[in-house]
Structures are given as structure tokens and as C-alpha cells.
Amino acid sequence: MELYELTLHELKDLLKKKEVSSKEVVKSFFSRIKKIDNKVKAFVTLCEEEALEKACECDQQQEYDGIAGIPYGLKDIICTRGVKTTCCSKILENFIPPYDATVARKLKEKKGILAGKLNMDEFAMGSSTENSAFFPTRNPWDLERVPGGSSGGSAAAVAAGEVPFALGTDTGGSIRQPASFCGVVGLKPTYGRVSRWGVVAFASSLDQVGVFSRDVRDCALVMNIVSGHDPMDSTSVDIEVPDYESFLTGNIKGLKVAYPREYFQQGVDEKIRETVKKALHKFEDLGAVVEEVTLPHSEYALPAYYLIAPAEASANLARYDGVRYGFRDFEADNVVQMFSKTRAAGFGDEVKRRIMLGTYALSSGYYDAYYLKALKVRRLISRDFNEVFKDFDVIVGPTTPTTAFKLGEQSDPLQLYMNDILTVPINMAGLPGISIPCGFVEGLPVGMQIIGRPFDEGTLLQAAYSYEQNTDYHTVKPVLGVE
Amino acid sequence: MISIREVEHVALLARLSLSEKEKEIFAEQLSTILDYINKLNELDTDGVEPLYHILPIYNIFREDEVKTGTSREDILANAPQVEEGQYKVPKII
């Protein structure tokens, strides 16, 4: 067993017992990265030198606790002081943040070691990581397939053993969908649970930072560190952060589990439906009460999302104007031309498409018909969930309608948006959701999504952990053909 | 249907200079996407309050205290063009 194959908590225990040094751990992961990342292409920036320095510091101080001395990766949307943060866009290609995002600072303060920055769809807009301005990332389970997106680099890096954990962001499924495609754990916390300060904004009422890991315990450990109120983010909520590890009891007797009829209908691959149904039986075997429910407005979540998210994005991305940071077109001779040419050359197609859609939806004469209408539908979606949570503790369903598709296979924008059909409603309602491995279809991982009440990540982790500990899907690793 | 003229108007609002080819593609793609979005009109939302975000919080205030921020030098380090400690842009008026 190589060190890079171990989970965060296993590494933590070895470090504590002084059986390995941080330097050995960091070296093991970097040799893994060197061996396989030319195939997986999860990283856009590597920080090897700094990582080894930090590891030596840890070894000198001999204070190993939590993530101390253990490497991790960050989606390249999370600002890191002195380390390029590009959003995988040409417009931010050379941007070096003068400060750390709150989540990056928290990991740093716990002496975690930043291994590098991870690939993503440009400005987190996409479901395949093919929209990265640099290169696409590959799925470690089948290099011809996409890892999902937008946090595809984060998911692929964790699945391939390049880092034990990583952070990503999720606006409409960008953590859970790639976690599902790559067979890892991916948690999108409640909106307001984790600070977004220093995380480049896409759609501010939906964006949330979350965790990728190889098992549920690791996810809980990282959530303990990154959660909590931040005075720098007025949408982060001042609600006490429990010790998430304490929820990992392995006991879910009497837990009330709902599965929505709408999540098991046409449009979701039959084999995926069967796989998740099997997982529901497992919950029953473990003593949970499982019942079918209805979320009647589910089918309206996606069209409403594709108004709200682009509308917010069009406002957020107005800041990329070539004045304060990023790329500028120097050919223009007046300022409006400079803005327009800078943005035309700096943004990729999908980003332009969403800016256009959002600007249209907010423009005079269309605001009520589109944007306001979508916000009203959002209320109806949120009410559906509230109704179910009166009687149930968690809601379970598939994370994605298909397993990972091939690169280039889905080129139509609307077809690509359909990937988010099961994850978007959760962002619209601001709820926490986790995707965990629950089986394979034709050798590709299938993810099960568990959705919880607001700020009840604890119960969600409790359910996920019980299932995981009674199955072994999380222990199966992709074979990359280079070992 | 979204016309080329509408695409041009929206592109101007969004400060995006588009090629003729892009205008055609966006007119077609935005029309398809909006057709799908029009599904929302199946729902009667009269009397439904819009949901802007899910948190029960409104305005957040803090004390107006002087704190050390990021230095001017650090902030200007990323600017495409700087002169005498200021951002430089092409002529505006």
C-alpha cells in the first residue's frame, strides 16, 4: 500500500503515531501526480516546492493534528495568496490574488499543505470541465470520458489518488455531479454554512463551497475546519458548527428516508434508478424507514435555474472589464470598446452565452416575465422540500441522470444543462446535499445523493456514513493503466 | 425567437463585442434555451412571493472602524496598466 492510496484520517493517524513524516506523505502524492497527471490533467498549477517546505516545517514542529502535514487541492476559483487563481479563464490567466479566501486561510492555519490548483469549467459554468480555457480533465475511471463539472479537476484528483481531499464549489451541482462521475464523496453544504469570501462569484444566491474526499469520515473532518460564520461574508450564517465526526455513529435505526418519485422517472437512466433503489433497500436493512414522496415542482427547477444563475452571473462578471486585473485588449481607443473587446477575447463561449442569457433576462421589458417569474418558481420548489422535511430526515435519489459521458459527446448547450436536473433543485432551496458512491454501471461509478434540512449536514453525514460502512464501493479504485 | 437586432442590443448592454457568426449562433441558441425556459409559464405563480435567497437575513451592519486593508501596491500589482499609483484606461470623454 502506497501512502497516496490512504485517506486523510488514515494519514492523520500515521503521522500522529510518527510512523511516517509529512515529507514522505507529500512526496508520495507528488510522485503520484507526476506519474499520472499527464493523463488525468486535474491540476492547472502545482506548488511542489512550497509544499515540501511546509512539510519540513511540520516535521520539525512534530505537531500533527487534523490535516496538519497533509496535502490537498483547491479548485482554481478559490483565491490563494501568491498562487495564480484563474477560474480557468483567459481573462484571469495571470491573476495572482493578494489575499487568501477564508476557506484557504482556514486550511492553511490548520497546517494543511496546498499541493496545487485544480481544473474547472471556466467560471464554474459547465458540467464536464471541457469548458476550461486550458485543457479538459479526464475521468480516472475511463480517460475517454469527462470527470463531470464544473469541479472536475477536484473530483478527478481525489479519485486518482493525487490528493486525499480537495475543495470545490457547487452552484447547480458542480460538486455532487463530478463526485458521482468519479466515484468519490462530494458535499455541498447549506447555503451560508461555509464562507464564500475570496471565492470568485458565479451566482451569489446559489454558490457554496464544499468538500471532495474518498470517504465520509474525511468529509466530516474537513467540514469541521471550513464551516462557520465569517464577518467577511454577510451571507455566512452565525449558527454553531457541531463536531461533524460525532455524527458518524453507524446507527440509522428509525431514520426517516424519503425518495422522490420525480427523481426516478424517465430521463434518468434505468440502470442508475435500479442501483439507487438497491441502495434504498440497504437503508431499510439498516433500520431506516423508507417511503416514496413527491416533489411536484421538480421539473421546473432547471428552467428557473437557467434564468436565475445566468442573471446573477451577468452582474457578477461585469467586473471583468480589463481595468483592475486580468486580461486587457490594448487595441481599443475608447473605453467602451476596450471593455467590449477585452470581454470578447477573454471569455469563452459558454460564459458569453450565460452573460447574454442573463443580461436578456434582466433587461428592460423582460425582468418580470423571466427573472421575477423564476424567483416565484423558486419559492414553490423550496416549499416542496419543506413539506417533505416535516415528516422525513433525509431525501435520497440519484445524483445524475447518466454515468460519465465521453468527451465531445454532448455539444449542445441545452443537452449539457440537463445533466444538472437532479442537483439544481437543491441549490434553489439552499439545502445541503452529498453524493456518495453506491455502485457501478458498466464499470462507471454511480452516485447517490442524500439531501438534508438546512444546516443539518450532521444527519446527512450520519446517513452517508452508515451506508458507506455497510458497502464497499468507496474502496474500489480506478485502474489507470500506468501502475 | 430572438432576432439578430436583439442579440446586438443585449451584447451592447453586456459589453461583449460579438462577431457576425457569434450573433447568428447566439440568436439560435438563446431562442432554443428560452423556448425551454418558457415551460415556467405552465405554472400559475399569482400571489407567490419571489424567493431571492433562502436565508432569513436582511441587511447586515458592522461598526465603521478603520482597519488595515490590502496595500495599494498589492492591489495594483494585477492591473493591466498603472500610472502614478492609479489604474490607467483609454480616454473616456
Gyration radius of chain A's alpha carbons: 21
Judged against a pLDDT cut of 80, whether residue A245 lies above it is answered with yes
A449 SS3 class: strand
Beta bridge partners of A45: A117
The DSSP output letter for A201 is P
Judged against a pLDDT cut of 80, whether residue B91 lies above it is answered with yes
* Smallest Cα distance from B19 to chain A, Å: 9
Q: What is the pLDDT of residue A312?
A: 97
Structural domains of chain B in order of their starting residue, each with its CATH number = 1-40 (1.10.20.60)
Give the containing element (helix H, strand E) for B87. strand B86-87
For A468, other C-beta atoms within 10 Å of its C-beta total 22
List CB contacts (< 8 A) between A328 and chain B. 80-81
pLDDT tens-digit readout, A282-305: 999 999 999 999 999 999 999 999
Q: What is the pLDDT of residue A272?
A: 98
Contact A340 B45 (CB under 8 A): no
- pTM beyond 0.90: the answer is yes
Q: What is the pLDDT of residue A188?
A: 98
B68 touches chain A (CB under 8 A): no
Which of A326, A332, A357 is opposite residue B33, by nearest beta carbon?
Answer: A357
Contact B92 A234 (CB under 8 A): no
pLDDT tens-digit readout, B52-82: 988 877 788 888 999 888 899 999 999 999 9
B17 touches chain A (CB under 8 A): yes
B45 touches chain A (CB under 8 A): yes
B61 touches chain A (CB under 8 A): no
Q: What is the pLDDT of residue B57?
A: 77
List CB contacts (< 8 A) between A200 and chain B. none
Q: What is the pLDDT of residue B58?
A: 78
pLDDT band (50, 70, 90) for residue A482: low
Q: What is the pLDDT of residue A156?
A: 98
Average pLDDT value for residue range A221-240: 96
- A to B CB pairs, distance under 8 Å: 164
Q: What is the pLDDT of residue A483?
A: 53
Q: For residues A438 and A472, what is the distance between their CA atoms, to the nearest angstrom?
A: 9
Domain A3-254+433-475 has CATH 3.90.1300.10: yes
Task: Clarify whether A150 is annotated catalytic.
Answer: yes
pLDDT tens-digit readout, B38-54: 999 999 999 999 999 88
- Mean pLDDT taken over chain B: 93
Q: What is the pLDDT of residue A113?
A: 98
Higher pLDDT, B53 or A254: A254
CB of A341 closer than 8 Å to CB of B12: no
Task: Clarify whether A174 is annotated catalytic.
Answer: yes
- Least Cα distance to A97 among B77, B51, B18 occurs for B77
Find the helix packing angle between A301-316 and A373-389, rounded to 10°.
120
Average pLDDT value for residue range A405-432: 94
- Mean pLDDT taken over chain A: 96
Average pLDDT value for residue range A181-207: 98
Contact A333 B55 (CB under 8 A): no
- Least Cα distance to B38 among A376, A357, A303 occurs for A303
pLDDT band (50, 70, 90) for residue A323: very high
Q: What percent of chain A has pLDDT over 70?
A: 99
| ipTM, two decimals | 0.95
B93 touches chain A (CB under 8 A): no
- Domain locations along chain A: 3-254+433-475
Q: What is the pLDDT of residue A476?
A: 94
Beta-sheet strands, E only, within A294-370? none
